[in-house]
Structures are given as C-alpha cells and as structure tokens.
Structure 1
C-alpha cells in the first residue's frame, strides 16, 4: 500500500514517514500543496495524508482539484486544533477523515486502517488471498497450503499489486510507479528482477499460482488448471 504525505512541516512529515515505513507502508512525502497535487494526480497512491495549511496550494484546494478530476483516492486531513471550520469544509468536499495534531502513532495507524476498511480495501493486518496463496502484508509472510516464507518488502508489494488486480494485466510501468514512485529512475529490468524473485518463491512453495507474461503488455496472476 502506497501513501502520499503532503505536509509543510518537514520534521513532522519525516517522522510520519518513518512510522509508516516501519509498518510496511510505501511512502512519499512532499512539502507544498502544488507538488502534492502533481504527485496525487499520478493515481499511484492508495491514501493521501493531507495537511490543510500549506504554501502554494492549501489542502482544501488540493482536495477540490482531485475530486474535480474524478480522483477518489482516500484522504485523511492533518489538522491543527484551530482549523475546525476548514476540517468541516474538507469533509464536505470529499475527505474521508481527519486527525488533529499532535497525534499518537496508534491513532494514526488506526485511522488509516479505518478509512481503508470503509473503502473496501484489505487491511494491512489481514491476508490477501488468490488461488492457494495467502499474503500477510503486515508480516510480509506468504503462505501456501501450510508452508510459508517471508518476502522482502518490494516482493510483498509486487505480489500485493498483482493479487489486488486479480486477473488483470499489470504493466511494467504500473509496477515501477507503484513500487518505486512515478518520478523514480527505476527501469523495466527492476520490475523483471522482482517478478523473477517471486516466480522462484512460488515454485519453492509449490503454489498452483503462476505469474504469466503477456508479451509486450505485462504480467498477470494465473492459476494452473
């Protein structure tokens, strides 16, 4: 799961980034609304943590522009205590929740889980399932018929992407954007390497699921008949 933090308090953004990374989220952080909007428009994020008072473009403006373009990415506002009216306006414009500064690690993580639950997403502590695969995105453990092993973070993120897209084809560009970010210098061979790693681990676990290649298009999960 990839989260974008848009927060002009750099130290706070860095602290939240570290908290989320320790809990196996992929995170990008930017420090003004205009840059945040550009990143959010990429469509690669599962959730936005959005400050209200920011330079260039405030959080309400960012949200309005996103919703105006039909982008429904869940948004949690980060608000100061004196911004109640702005918070209410944000909810009216389509924000999913808010959290007042200062906040605890436990509250932040709980709010994220609650928003994703309401949006119908699989929660980080729950297992994703496809065929005989069961992936726990919190512990990064992949289980197949009682046999399991730990993946590294990028492997887990890749498998999560393929599993949530089910039997849709996922391009190398989509993999790079989701795992490394849309402005990353990662190349197609980076995606190919991690696909190869996963294929070997699926084989080792004896899974009936394979990662199929659609030449010139991308990858898709398939269940062997």
Structure 2
C-alpha cells in the first residue's frame, strides 16, 4: 500500500515511515511542496499524508494544485494548524480528512484505511472471495477458515488484486504498489511473489494476461 508523506519535520516523517511500514504501508517522503506536487502526478499512491507547513510551497497550495488537475487520491492533512478556519479551509480545498498534531498513530492508520476503502468503493473492511476471507484493517487472511501466513509483499499483492477484481496490472504497476522509490527490485521479484501467493491460495487465483500483466483469477 504506497503512501506519499509530505512532511517538513524530519523526525515526524521518519517516525511515521517507521510506524506505517509495520502496517504494510510503503512510504515515500518529501519535505518540499514542489517535489510533492510532481510525485503524486508520477506515481500511483493509495493515499497522501500532507503537512501544511512545507518548504517552498504551502501544503494548501499543493492540495489545490492536485485537485485543480483532477487528481483525486485521498488526502489526510496532518498538521499543527488546529484553528477552526484552518480545518475548514483544508476540507473545503479538497482534503478528505484533517487531523491535528499531536496525534495517535492508531488513529492515523484507521483514518488512512477508511479513506482508501472509500476511494475503492469498499464500505466494509472484510472481503470474501470464495473460501478466502480478508480483513483489510488488521491485514489478515484465511482460507477455508485457516489463517494464511503471508509476507508483507504477498499481503500487498493480495490486497491489490482483491480490491480491483476486474483490473489487469502490468508488472511495473505491481512494482509501484509493492516497493517505494528507494528500494531495489530484482528482475524476477514480482513473479516470485505471484508464485508464492498461488502456492498458498491456489494455482488459478492469479490469472496471467499475455503481454498485459496479471489480474485476479478464480475464487478458491
């Protein structure tokens, strides 16, 4: 689950990155508003955590830039600006949620999950697909009532496919969802993750589309 963090404070950004990575969220961090504007246009993030106090460009201007260009990625404003006029301005400018510092990490994670589910048209955290049951909140999955032991990237791949059942993903698109910009990706990494997930769920669970990529296959 790729998350874009625009945060001017290095300690806050690093802390968020460390904590969110424990919840299967791969984060890219920028302190510059201008770089953040470009980043969201260049990569398919599931959500954005946006501080309003950014270098070069104010966070509110960054948000307006995205929305004026039709970029509808969910945005959670996370800022020290706690006055009511600031909160109203952020929501009216197109933010999907607004949370003031200091914050509880569990609340940030819960709000991110809710925003992402809503953006995908999913109203509940639990999804069933044949004998496969998935809980998006606690990142758990079971098959025939038995828990599945998934690695972080196997979970991310499963989540990607199950929340987009009709979509075909290219190898590059899957890489963008499973890895952040700083991580090296081995040439056969995606095929390895697909092989392992098929082995745990079923050989026909992921369907190859020749020349195009992969999509969700048959229910187990």
Q: Across the two proteins, how many residue pairs are aligned to each other?
A: 220
Equivalence map 1:92-103=2 (5 Å): 92-103=92-103
Q: CA deviation at 1:163?
A: 1.1
Q: Which contiguous aligned blocks of 4+ residues in structure 1 show a shift greater than 6 angstroms?
A: none
SS at match of 2:42: coil
Q: CA deviation at 1:82?
A: 5.9
Equivalence map 1:67-106=2 (5 Å): 67-81=67-81, 84-106=84-106
Residue 18 of structure 2 is aligned to residue 18 of structure 1: yes
- Aligned match of 1:186: 185
- Aligned match of 1:143: 142
- Aligned match of 1:198: 197
Per-residue CA deviation, residues 58-104 of structure 1 (Å, 9 max, x unaligned), is 21111111112211111111222466534322211111111111112
Residue 174 of structure 2 is aligned to residue 175 of structure 1: yes
- Aligned match of 2:214: 219
Equivalence map 1:50-65=2 (5 Å): 50-65=50-65
8 Å CA contact 1:177–1:184 kept in 2: the answer is no
TM-score, scaled relative to structure 1:
0.85
Separation (CA, whole Å) in 2 of partners of 1:14 and 1:157? 21
TM-score, scaled relative to structure 2:
0.87
Stretch deviating more after TM superposition (69-78 or 107-116): 107-116
SS at match of 2:217: strand
Query: Structure 2 unaligned runs (5+)?
Result: none
- Aligned match of 1:44: 44
SS at match of 1:60: helix
Q: CA deviation at 1:56?
A: 1.8
Separation (CA, whole Å) in 2 of partners of 1:163 and 1:114? 16
Per-residue CA deviation, residues 145-191 of structure 1 (Å, 9 max, x unaligned), is 22332100000001111111103211101101111135754255221
Residue 128 of structure 2 is aligned to residue 133 of structure 1: no
Separation (CA, whole Å) in 1 of partners of 2:82 and 2:218? 54
Separation (CA, whole Å) in 2 of partners of 1:114 and 1:214? 31
Q: Answer 1 or 2: higher relative contact order, Cα 8 Å, separation at least 6.
A: 2
